[in-house]
Structure 1
Amino acid sequence: MQWWQAALGILAGLAGVYAVLLLALWVYARSHPETVGMREALRLLPDVLRVLRRLATDPAVSRGARIKLFLLLGYLLLPLDLVPDFLPLIGYADDVIVMALVLRSVIRSAGPESLRRHWPGTPAGLAVIERLAGLPAPVAGKAGGAGKESTDAA
């Protein structure tokens, strides 16, 4: 067997794994209606980046959680993704899934109060992020700390 045949076999294997990943993300996005859509994600992006930065710089949040947040910020800001963003339906699915997993992990260690205290956006946006992070719906009339922290002008 020549070197190019081996290289072609490796590339074909990688393409197959990539196709399976795309299919798995597509199935996940279709079977989980709570997944945030692209339009909703784009509207929330500035607030999400602000809350991630605020949590990452909060000394009350554990060091491990802050490291996860800095790594997440880096992942979200990188132009290269596991799944290209131009693909319909699943293009942003990897970003949303990674963000939800990191938020769940950070909120488990920092507590949902930290998220609510640092949230700069609307109560509706906070509800979406809480849903993504796997938090139970807040009690009616208690929006948490949404928009209360005005000292951070980021």
Structure 2
Amino acid sequence: MIEAAWDDIGMSRALERAKQWARAVKRDVAALWIAGRDPRTPLAAKIAALAVVAYALSPVDLIPDFIPVLGYLDDLVIVPLGIMLAVRLIPDELLAEFRARAAAAPRRPASVAGLAAVIVIWTGALGLLAVWLL
């Protein structure tokens, strides 16, 4: 009985940490979207930020989620690593401002460019596969 209560407490803490992490990722993606359009952001940070945002906000994944294990790796590994890289390239004062603006924004942005990039990559891969098979 006591062990079950401890397990419930541990699970609820883990769930709460996961929710906080997910909110932070969403906020940082929105902050990077703002950073990519701000003239004060260094060029390397802009490029990294816009690439991460385009991919993170694309409605289509590079690796579809229906592929076991690999389908979720991009959501769990690629996007957070890209966010960490882009965040490191942005000066702290600007990042704090962008995060505050992102937290206050009523909705998150969408990425048509990310969708287009994923479609181009998949089309190219399918074309190469067709050439290889023929």
TM-score, normalising length: structure 1 = 0.42
Q: As a proportion of its length, which structure holds more helix?
A: 2
TM-score, normalising length: structure 2 = 0.47
